[in-house]
Chains A and B, each alone.
Chain A
Amino acid sequence: ETGVTQTPRHLVMGMTNKKSLKCEQHLGHNAMYWYKQSAKKPLELMFVYNFKEQTENNSVPSRFSPECPNSSHLFLHLHTLQPEDSALYLCASSQDHRGGTEAFFGQGTRLTVV
């Protein structure tokens, strides 16, 4: 496989459920990101990891918990979400965590919270 792969592609969960989103990159990049994309809003950066270390957390609620076991894998653990958390969650990777180089995105996970 090449590029950035996200699973699952679609997820429906209740507000009391716990689920995880997975991202894997095969590009040899050092930095990985989680973004949230909602209708009529610009892309929102959630978390940034560089060489497995979290370098940015943009005031994201604690019901979203990221995990980066190595520079190729990134998870987003979800628990007790709210309906307004329904969105497209995108994973991305880049060579430079400071944003100086282009990012490559996965296909995204379409999350619906019911």
Chain B
Amino acid sequence: EDQVTQSPEALRLQEGESSSLNCSYTVSGLRGLFWYRQDPGKGPEFLFTLYSAGEEKEKERLKATLTKKESFLHITAPKPEDSATYLCAVQALIDAGNNRKLIWGLGTSLAVNP
């Protein structure tokens, strides 16, 4: 069964304390992995798309990496404004007709204390 699992469920960091969030997946045919950030009471905000193992993307203090089984979102020297829920979604191939579906994880709730 296609599945996306994010860990940890919640993470509390001190300002400046670097860490990583994990998104592991089991899908039959990966067509892309997306990272989003969601602030309370708002819609998700797109961060990155990764398409193949070994790919890396960076934006400010965030860096996303991808292997054949998982993706990491590395946060370097986080600030309080990085506090949010980080969502991972995997696009999987569902049949030979190139039809796809997007499978979402439950997210990691990150709190960065000043």
A contact set with B: CB distance below 8 Å = 4, 6, 40-43, 45, 88, 90-92, 98-108, 110
Contacts and interface: CB of A to CB of B under 8 A. Distances in A.
Contacts of B44: 43, 90, 105
Contacts of B32: 99-100
A37 to B, nearest CB: 9
A27 to B, nearest CB: 12
Contact of B45 (A42, A88, A101, A105): A105
Interface of B: 4, 31-32, 34, 36, 41-46, 49, 87, 89, 91, 98-106
Given A43-B44, A107-B42, 7 more contacts: A42-B104, A43-B89, A91-B43, A99-B100, A100-B31, A104-B46, A108-B42
Contacts of A4: 43
Looking at B36, B101, B102, B105, the one whose CB has the most chain A CB atoms below 10 A away is B102
Contact of B43 (A41, A98, A101, A105): A105
Nearest to B103: A42
Contacts of B43: 4, 6, 90-92, 105-108
A99 B104 contact: no
